Structure 1
Amino acid sequence: MKNTFTPARFLKPLLIAIMMFAVSSLYSQKVKPSVSGYIPVNGIKVYYEVYGEGKPLVLLHGAFMTIDTNWGQLIPDLSKNRKVIAIELQGHGHTPFSDRKLSHANLASDVKGVMDYLKIDKADIAGYSFGGAIAYQFAIQNPDRLNKLVIISATYKNTGWIPEVNNVFKTMKPELFTNSPMQTAYDQVAPDKTKWTKFLEQMIAAAGQPFDLGDANISKISAPVLIISGDNDGLDKIELAKTYKLLGGGVSADLSPMPKSRLAIIPGQSHVSLMMQTATILNELNNFLK
């Protein structure tokens, strides 16, 4: 009998993997931020945490996540010789829910607002998944504020995902997250836990909408870009190769100069398991950002 794909069959293992990731992050090594709090930007209050000293590195988390559940395993090492600024995007974690339009442009503008408030002229920006799309948008909107860009398992257009992933985005329901570790993490830090369902509805509605930040805009990014992807993380690898080409990659470096941007495909990894490969991610980040 033919094995036919259905979004419901795909969702269950995906959510289990996400929950395992959230649980593993909850038990990760902890370091306390040197500074944390809220910054008023663009009509909302954005929560941030600062770790370490040195060259600024801004971290942008994935959808439905918090600073801790996404970056908790990486911050202790990243902050050893860098000033790490981790942000919780609109409605996520400590940052209150808002009815303000949830758009890439608004969220990227929030990141700039946090940097303005902290008097950070330029920074490296690293984003995972949903945060990676915001990082692309930041690079487009604020090229003069960016040193290097790190994109982890993310795309700048919905067609950068394989069709099965886009089908999942269109069929997700808030009840799928009921009593999940992600809800537990939200409840631990959210200023108003009653906004959980509204937050999910807002995010799911946004995920179901087509988006495209534009090939032309990506090709204009002058900062070096590191793309990290799992070989089976749901990204369309043909589109990913095109993205790398737009950023100056995909050449024969024996016949022409080595491009300033990099593409790392990590074998045997899914969208979720990729972020559990702490040593691999740290190695790629450190080699690129040093």
Structure 2
Amino acid sequence: MKRVLKGSNILRSASIIAVLLFTTVLRSKGQQSKPAESGYAPVNGIKVYYEVYGTGKPVILLHGAFMTIEGNWSQLIPELSKTRKVIAIEMQGHGHTQFSERKLSHAAMASDVEGVMDHLKIDSADVVGYSMGGSIAYKFAIQSPKRLKKLVIISSTYKSNGWLPEVTAAFKSWKPEFFTNTPMKTAYDAVAPDKTKWTKFIEQMIVFAAEPFDFGDDNIAKITAPVLIIAGDNDGLDKVELAKTYKLLGGGVIADMGPMPKSHLAIVPAQGHVSLMMQTNTILGYLNGFLK
């Protein structure tokens, strides 16, 4: 029993360290880029913050849990915005977007994305989501198929058991005090419209992260937009489930004996969930090739 508890504590510590490392490294390495436009879109009873960079065909970026636009995308935005209109969104309670007592759900946040598109008068767009943002992107593809052109999922899944059991166990072990005096708290205080909501936000996110979810294999199979899945070979995703997902999207065929699938799968070697997002050139190469 002691060994089990010790392993659980190690896993818990590792998960928090990974998140903190992620925030620290990306914020310190990110290139500073000023948005051409920023503001709040009134959607579904809350005001969702967004930033717009560059011109061209729109691509929407959805960040991971506890993240901000700067923390998640600062290295990619300067390059993507050279040829595209980049719309980066901060989800409910994150960054500049106000905390809300509204229950956090993938469906609500996917609806928020569509609301921001309405506000900016964007009929359809490519959507790129990382981690939590990838799950929201999957939900968006299911709820709003006509608003989606191409979908990019980075280190994410549409169901809880798409993660390895150790990852879901880590989610359930989180406690509010783990996040006190962290770079995430510093980042929150720098931009949050109401800094007093920090504890409530963390408590809300912990409940959200621990809740099982499954958008349904049938719904994933009905996605008609081309999908690019990018994953690290050791990023915490169950690769057996990931292969099943790719097959649902039309992949996993013998392309030498038939047409190449419109959806693609990229497994980046020697990368975890945290380090994958730091491979800017690699991810940018995949994005440019797929989105063009």
**1:45-85 deviations in Å (ceiling 9; x for gaps):** 00000000001000000000000100011111011100000
Instruction: Give 2:21's aligned residue.
Output: 20
> In 1, Cα distance between the equivalents of 2:279 and 2:191?
26
Q: Shift of residue 112 of structure 1?
A: 0.2
Q: Secondary structure at the match of 2:86?
A: strand
**In the alignment, is the contact (CA less than 8 A) between 1:225 and 1:261 conserved in 2?**
yes
Tell me the distance in 2 between the aligned counterparts of 1:259 and 1:253: 8
Deviation at 1:15, TM superposition (A): 2.2
Matching residue of 1:151: 153
1:93 aligned residue (82, 92, 95): 95
Cα distance in 1 for partners of 2:21, 2:166 equals 21
The answer to whether structure 1 residue 222 and structure 2 residue 219 are counterparts is: no
| 1:210 aligned to which of 200, 204, 212 | 212
Q: Does the 8 Å contact 2:76/2:284 carry over to 1?
A: yes
User: Which position in structure 1 is the counterpart of 2:52?
Assistant: 50
- SS of residue paired to 1:6: helix
Does structure 2 retain, via aligned residues, the 8 Å contact 1:62–1:128?
Answer: yes
Structure 1 alignment gaps of length 5 or more: none
Q: Secondary structure at the match of 2:257?
A: coil
User: SS at 1:99's partner residue?
Assistant: coil
Going from structure 1 to structure 2, the CA distance change for 1:182 and 1:193 (only over 3 Å counts) comes to same
Contact 1:95 1:190 in 2 (8 A): yes
From 272, 275, 283, the counterpart of 1:273: 275
Moved more, 31-40 or 21-30: 21-30
Match of 1:284 in 2: 286
Give the secondary structure class of the aligned counterpart of 1:65: coil
Letter in 2 for 1:188: A
Question: 2:256 is matched with which residue?
Answer: 254
Q: Distance in 1 between matches of 2:162 and 2:121?
A: 34
Which residue identity lines up with residue 70 of structure 1 in the other structure?
A: N
- Residues 210-259 of structure 1, C-alpha deviations (whole Å, 9 max, x = no match): 10000000000000000000001000000000000000000010011100
RMSD of aligned residue pairs (Cα, Å):
1.4
What percent of counterpart residues are identical? 70
- Relative to the length of structure 2, the TM-score reads 0.97
1:207 corresponds to which letter in structure 2? Answer: A
My pick for the range that moved more, 171-180 or 10-19, is 10-19
- Amino acid in structure 2 at the alignment position of 1:25: L
Unaligned ranges ≥5, structure 2? none
Check whether the contact 1:156–1:213 (CA below 8 A) recurs between aligned residues. Answer: yes
8 Å contact from structure 1 (residues 17, 273) kept in 2: no
- Post-superposition offset of 1:3: 8.7
Task: State which of 117, 120, 128 in structure 2 corresponds to 1:118.
Answer: 120
Structure-2 separation of matches of 1:3 and 1:100: 36
**Count of residue pairs the alignment pairs up:** 290
Residue identity opposite 2:143 in structure 1: Q
Aligned to 1:8: 9
Q: Provide TM-score, normalisation by structure 1.
A: 0.97
* SS in structure 2 at match of 1:64: coil
Determine helix, strand or coil for the equivalent of 1:276. Answer: coil
